[in-house]
Chains A and B, each alone.
Chain A
Amino acid sequence: MPRLSKIDVVSIEDLATAEIERIFTLADEYAAALEAGKPPAVASGLVMATLFYEPSTRTRLSFESAMHRLGGAVISSADMNASSAAKGESLADTARIVSGYADLIVLRHPHDGAARVAAEYASCPVLNAGDGSREHPTQTLCDLFTLRRKKGRLKGLTVALCGDLKFGRTVHSLIYALARFGANIVAVPTAGMDVPDYVLERLAAERNYNFSTVTMDELKSLAGGLDALYLTPSAPHQMALFTGDAPLEKIPTAEPPPALDAFYVTRLQKERLQSKDAPTSEYVRFDAHALKGHRVQEAVVMHPLPRTTELAYELDSDPRAVYFEQAAAGVPVRMALIAWIIERSGEPRSRTNAQNAAIVFKSAAPPRCASPNCVTRFEAGYLRPRFRLAPGVDRNLLALRCDYCDREMRIEFVGHASRRRYYRYDETLHGYVRQWIEEGTLAVFDSVKQAEEEGYEPYRRGPQREVMDAPAIARALDSMAEQVIADLPDLTGVSIVGVVSRGAILASRICDLIQQKAGVRPPSAAIDVYNPAETVMRLDSAESFVAEDRTIVIVDDVINSGWTVQRAMTALWQRGRPAAVKLAVLIDRGHRAVPIRPNYVGKNIPTARAERVQVRLAPPQGVAPGRARTQDCVVIYSMVESLKEGEDAG
């Protein structure tokens, strides 16, 4: 038996429509063969490994049953968290090692994008059996297969998706697939559990596909036979909803209201809620009454099972309840998928995404994926965040999609890593950004402050004027130290923490001044809000920084929006619970975007939004000056932000 071709099924999008059709043809054959009791042993001599980092009885059993029925063998670790993962083995190492034992890996994992990582490191094919709240492609194949069997087609069907549409990974895969096959979707989320924006935006951008969302009550009135729901005939994927308030004569009568073909009901994913996203209203519940209206007469009811309370047991005897058939499809569909991969063995398969190159940032602190459940956050030891350009919704923000978990990020400031220039993004830069991605020179920033901290200069600046010279800065710092001493009588409980890098230099100077004036030197530290690994470092000793019960004075050079201070507080709270936090800034320039106010201010300088205040400081004593300045000063210049038409970004 030759090695299987490296065909990974991580997302339903990994399968072309024709490939899905082929898998369904095979699944029909295997369903018939299972009925007849004699499926062909096409997998004889092959070994499948099932790695389940999360409990799932049905998915694992149906995969294992499928492999056995095809004459193959199965090795399994039912509970990975109790084995190597508990010893700290990385997902990449596990995938590499297990590919030496097996011809095929089936993976279920709690982190978004984990299957993509395993697929990249395993030398054999990897089939995703669910990764975090992302995708579950084989469940989607079973859903589509059942729907197609029951209705004879997928194109033009109207499917109502009900319940938890936020965390239900089966639902996200199903939405992409239904859109691809030309079915109509009506979303009926439980309050607060809507389809996430990134799914909607992706559908709109990539497939020009939209669907409407209705409430359970509106759906019930539909089921009860009220003429309340219409598909507008001109736009097959656009639903218009007319409630009782709309005058009846205005309702278009040219097209009869279509019937619903299927209800897809999901389970409330309690395990993904973590008690923070408590649904406010009651979860959906389907009973015999829900299927009474004439418009739902032909509608089948599907559910990925296991059910909790959303499906009444009285429905089970209704011929339209097809969820057990849907579950039974699990074995023939998974047999078909395995057989299809075997069928393709020996074939080279290259599916490269040439026009949308992956972006890996080379800087010391690359941007993190915004999703707290992204696999890149958990496997950070070897996995660098990786993104691709996403179709932008806002022309003044660059959209990047995490290549592992699909979460999108919106970027306001971009830079060129070798020219060390930064720009406020707008669509005129898009061509340059593509070029910089190809060169590997794209850098992205949360803010101007971060760009300048990393040594980037604005693309172009207007005339500058000096607003403070060295003596003025010294006087302002002196006054700040006086304010601290007057406000905080017990200086032994005080720690001074400067925001890297200029805030940290100022923190050391304020410590010197406090020592001169009060005879006590508070411990000092530097806080780096852009580097999650090394957040708070002591400046004056090798001991570790203590936040618990201390009165902490955060020092920064300029306060503008206040986001930096907010991030600094977040970092401090990860170290303990301070008794109090005070904020000292050399300059308050206004334009706050968060409800933060400094306690001690050296100087208030009103500025225009497009102006930039830059504090330039001589290096601390003992540090070789190099290219740095030898005189302190504060300058204001206006930023000239966007490129003019036809102008070169260089």
Chain B
Amino acid sequence: MTPRPETALDSVAIARAVKRIAHEIVERNPEAKALALIGIVRRGAYLADRIAVEIRGLSPREIAVGTLDISSYRDDGRGRPGDPRLIARNIPFSLDGKTVLLIDDVLYTGRTVRAALDALTNLGRADSIQLAVLVDRGERELPIRADYVGKNISAPPGHRVYVRLTEVDGADAVVIGNGNGK
């Protein structure tokens, strides 16, 4: 009805969610295991930085932070949307034997995560890969699930979930829009 976007999480709630995810990560992963936080560009990468700061405040341990840039490409020669694929990576360390935490802003179809898993397994033999997302909006197309979720949000059909972060958008908020507005 109303074109006004609805705020699902404000900046306080986002900060709380990031803190809680960091706590859960520390609880589930004993200190002896080296962690690698891999953020999916762009907003997942900033979330990875924030979560790394929180974890460092909670427990002294080795944490490496890197990024994967996974984007949908729209040109597969048949004029149809292709699947997300790896565009660039910045992971200047070995993943062998590490517990890898893949971090993204929104989990939706699962296709970006699948491409990320592919990219990570090509890079080395991680001990395990866990997934942390700020928002899980359901409607999965692949059998992917997150280990850590900031908030579950179900958006009406045709609507989109926008995560806005200070580093990119000037302020923190998660809003539900109707697909063409912000």
Interface residues, chain A, CB within 8 Å of chain B? 191-194, 197, 275-278, 280, 372, 394, 410, 554, 561, 565-567, 569-570, 573, 577, 579-583, 592-599
Contacts and interface: CB of A to CB of B under 8 A. Distances in A.
B15 interface: no
B36 to A, nearest CB: 13
Contacts of B94: 197
Provide the main secondary structure of the chain A interface. Answer: loop
Given A579-B141, A594-B128, 4 more contacts: A193-B92, A276-B89, A554-B143, A595-B113
B122 A597 contact: no
Given A275-B87, A595-B131, A581 B92 contact: no
B87 A595 contact: no
Given A410-B125, A565-B143, A569-B114, A595 B130 contact: yes
B155 interface: no
Contact of A372 (B90, B113, B122): B122
Which residue, of A191, A565, A570, has the highest number of chain B Cβ atoms within 10 A? A570
B102 interface: yes
B141 A595 contact: no
Contact of B90 (A280, A583, A599): A280
Interface in B91-133: 92-94, 96-97, 102, 113-114, 117-118, 121-122, 125, 127-131
Contact of B127 (A593, A595, A596): A593
Query: Which has the most chain B C-beta neighbours within 10 Å: A194, A565, A570, A594?
Result: A594
B83 interface: yes
Contact of B118 (A197, A275, A394, A573): A573
Contacts of A565: 143
A593 B143 contact: no
Contact of A597 (B92, B93, B125, B143): B143
21 contacts: A194-B93, A277-B88, A277-B89, A278-B88, A278-B90, A372-B122, A410-B96, A410-B125, A567-B121, A569-B142, A573-B114, A577-B83, A582-B143, A593-B127, A593-B128, A594-B117, A595-B102, A595-B129, A595-B130, A595-B145, A596-B143
B143 A192 contact: no
Contacts of B8: none
Contacts of B145: 595-597
Question: How many of chain B's residues touch chain A, expressed as a range?
Answer: 20 to 34
A372 B94 CA distance: 16
B147 A595 contact: yes
B90 A596 contact: no
A191 B92 contact: yes
A285 to B, nearest CB: 20
Contacts of A573: 83, 114, 118
Contacts of B131: 595
Contacts of A580: 141-142
B92 to A, nearest CB: 4
Contacts of B147: 595
Contacts of B82: 577
